[in-house]
């Protein structure tokens, strides 16, 4: 409650937080709020311009673009949220254990992490999705693994400092096991930077998910996805420029909202950053 009270003081963060919640609401209710069947083909309305029947027009198969953008919102939110959770669980688990255990385990984990960080995120994601397959599960694994090194480094670095605290040494002296110490003493004290990194990672995941779909390596047709819709629209910019408006606007609004919410969360959890600005 204290966090929410302090967060609401940031007007920009609160405004875009409401927009982000609205987008998640659209994603959760997509099947019930689409004005038309997003998969239904109607060759009589191919490239139909925006109208009261089709607010954003129709695509090259006569499908309602607004309905497809709404369904694509659900697909994108599901993939990026799952990928973020996967990255957090994988990265934090490895980072905490490596930082607490030390020795060769820490060295091996950090060398592997450094090797992964050498490659651009999108390149690493492309390699993984090619191996795992261009499916929702494959994209989730690819994006999650590509972002996991960031969480490994953060979790390991904070764990190294926290494990030297007196209350951790007292727990060890009292006979507490490694799993108990990690769960009850280390994690509560490193959760704040992890939460901040997760909020800042979300827009990166959205962009990379759309990039994979744009390249044909993401969710496959006929399931709509913003990047895939942009790829289809680029071939008809002259004859039907309205095709690009819906997915482009949705992508920009989501990424902008997620970025500003991430900044607001970071400033709320670390007020020193706001004072420095």
| pLDDT digit string, tens, across residues 51-85 | 998 899 999 999 999 999 999 999 999 999 999 99
**Residues 120-131: tens digit of each pLDDT:** 777 878 888 777
Task: Give the integer Cα–Cα distance in Å for 191 and 135.
Answer: 31
**Residues 176-185: tens digit of each pLDDT:** 777 878 888 7
Question: Cβ contacts of residue 53 below 8 Å, gap of 6+?
Answer: none
Mean pLDDT of the residues in the chain: 86
Work out whether the CA dihedral 201, 87, 26, 234 comes out positive or negative: positive
Nearest Cα neighbor of 274 from 21, 2, 11, 17 is 11
Question: Is the pLDDT higher at 276 or at 263?
Answer: 263
Q: For residue 241, what is the DSSP state? A: G
pLDDT of residue 272: 55
**Residues 188-207: tens digit of each pLDDT:** 888 888 888 898 899 999 99
Question: Is the pLDDT higher at 8 or at 255?
Answer: 255
Tokens of 65: 């673009």
Please check whether residue 45 is in contact with residue 59, taking contact to mean a CB–CB distance below 8 angstroms: no
**Backbone torsions φ then ψ of 64, nearest 5 degrees:** -70, 120
Please check whether residue 129 is in contact with residue 215, taking contact to mean a CB–CB distance below 8 angstroms: no
Statement: residue 38 has pLDDT above 80? yes
Nearest Cα neighbor of 164 from 186, 191, 194, 195 is 186
Structural domain boundaries in the chain: 81-276
pTM above 0.85, yes or no: yes
Please provide the CATH number assigned to the domain covering 81-276.
1.10.3720.10
pLDDT of residue 255: 93
pLDDT of residue 271: 56
């Amino acid at each position: 409650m204290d966090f929410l009270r302090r967060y609401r003081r940031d007007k920009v963060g609160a405004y875009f937080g409401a927009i982000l919640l609205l987008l998640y609401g659209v994603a959760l209710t997509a099947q019930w709020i689409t004005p038309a069947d997003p998969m239904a083909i109607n060759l009589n309305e191919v490239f139909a311009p925006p109208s009261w029947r089709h607010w954003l027009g129709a695509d090259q198969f006569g499908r309602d673009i607004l309905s497809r953008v709404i369904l694509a919102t659900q697909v994108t939110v599901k993939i990026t949220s799952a990928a973020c959770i996967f990255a957090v669980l994988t990265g934090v688990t490895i980072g905490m254990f490596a930082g607490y255990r030390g020795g060769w385990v820490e060295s091996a984990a950090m060398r592997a992490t450094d090797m992964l960080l050498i490659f651009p995120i999108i390149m690493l994601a492309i390699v993984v999705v090619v191996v795992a397959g261009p499916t929702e599960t494959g994209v989730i694994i690819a994006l999650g693994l590509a972002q996991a090194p960031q969480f490994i480094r953060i979790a390991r670095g904070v764990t190294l400092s926290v494990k030297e605290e007196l209350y951790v040494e007292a727990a060890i002296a009292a006979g507490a096991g490694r799993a108990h110490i990690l769960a009850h003493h280390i994690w509560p004290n490193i959760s704040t930077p992890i939460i901040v990194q997760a909020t800042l990672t979300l827009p990166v995941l959205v962009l990379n998910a759309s990039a994979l779909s744009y390249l044909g390596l993401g969710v496959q047709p006929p399931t709509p996805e913003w990047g895939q819709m942009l790829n289809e629209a680029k071939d008809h910019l002259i004859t039907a420029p309205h095709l690009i408006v819906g997915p482009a606007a949705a992508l920009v609004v989501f990424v902008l909202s997620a970025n500003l919410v991430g900044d607001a969360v970071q400033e709320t959890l670390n007020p020193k950053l706001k004072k420095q600005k």
